[in-house]
Amino acid sequence: MPTRIAIYQENGSGEAKISGIRRYGRDIEIVPAADVTGPLPEFIDDPADFIDPPPGAADVVLSFLKHPDLAAFLADLCEERAIPLVASGRKIKNAICPFTCCSLGHRDDLGAYGEQFGFPEFRVRVEGERIIEVEVVRGASCGATWEAAAAVRGLTLEEAMPLIARRAQYFCVADPSAFDPVSGKSALHHAGHVHAAALDKAVRETKGKNR
C-alpha cells in the first residue's frame, strides 16, 4: 500500500519537492492538502481560517509553510492526530526538522518517503579510478541527488567528488541564506557536503568489496 503524503505550502513553496517526489518516488501517493496564496498578515489569530486539518488519509505531512503561525498550527494538528510532520529547514515544535531535505535520516514512521528521501545513498561501479555507473538509492526530495549523480558518470574519482557537490548545490532549492548556527555552513554548503560524502562512502565500499 502506498505511503500517502499531504503537502502544505505557501504560494507554491513546495512545488520543487512535489515534482521531485513524483518523479523519483515509488509507492507514494500525494493527497490533496493546501496551498495558501496571497499576502498574509504579520500575525494570524485563527490559522484555521487558512488551513484545514491534515487529511485523515495521510500517513505523512510535509510542511513548506513559511508563516510561523500557520506552521506551528499545522504541527499541533499533526501531533493531535499522531501524523508525523516533516518541515525541512525550519525549527518547529512537534515536527521533524532536518537542516535540509537531504539531511533527513532513516525513519520507519515516514514509510516509503523516509526510505527513499533524505541523506543521499549511492551504489557505484568503479573501474580503476573512474566511476562507470552511479545508482541513487536514496536522495533529496527536490531531485538534486539524481541530477547530480548523472553528471559524474564516466569521471575519475578526483573529478567526481567536487563536481557532485557543486551540482547538488546548483539543483538544491534550499534557502541559501539559511545558516546552521553550529557548523556555520549554509544549506547549500551542507547539501554539497552530504552528497560528496555519500559518493565517497559508496566508492570506498565498492573498492572494499573488490579487494
Q: What is the pLDDT of residues 120-149, one digit of tens each?
A: 999 999 999 999 999 999 999 999 999 999
**Of 138, 102, 99, 146, which is closest to residue 121 (Cα–Cα)?**
138
* Model confidence pLDDT, tens digit, residues 86-115: 999 999 999 999 999 999 999 999 999 999
The string of pLDDT tens digits covering residues 43-91 is 999 999 999 888 888 999 999 999 999 999 999 999 999 999 999 999 9
At position 52, the amino acid (one-letter code) is: D
Query: How much helix, strand and coil, in percent to the nearest 5, is found in the chain?
Result: 40, 20, 40
Assigned superfamily of 3-97? NAD(P)-binding Rossmann-like Domain (3.40.50.720)
42 — phi, psi (to 5°)? -60, -40
Instruction: Kindly tell me if the per-residue pLDDT of 26 is higher than 80.
Output: yes
Dist CA 40 CA 63 (whole Å) = 17
Angle between helices 144-152 and 15-24 (to 10 degrees): 60
Give the CB-side neighbour count of residue 174, counting CA atoms within 13 A: 29
Q: How confident is the model at residue 182 (pLDDT cuts 50, 70, 90)?
A: low
How much is the average pLDDT of 180-201?
Answer: 87
DSSP label at 108? G
DSSP states of 83-99: --EE-TT---TTSB--S
In the chain, domain spans: 3-97, 121-209
At position 37, the amino acid (one-letter code) is T
Q: Are 177 and 186 in contact (CB under 8 A)?
A: yes
Indicate if the pLDDT at residue 210 is higher than 90: no
Class for domain 121-209, per CATH? alpha beta
CA distance 10 to 193: 28
Query: What's the average model confidence in pLDDT over 186-194?
Result: 92
Q: What are phi and psi of 186, to 5 degrees?
A: -80, 170
- What does pLDDT average to over the chain? 93
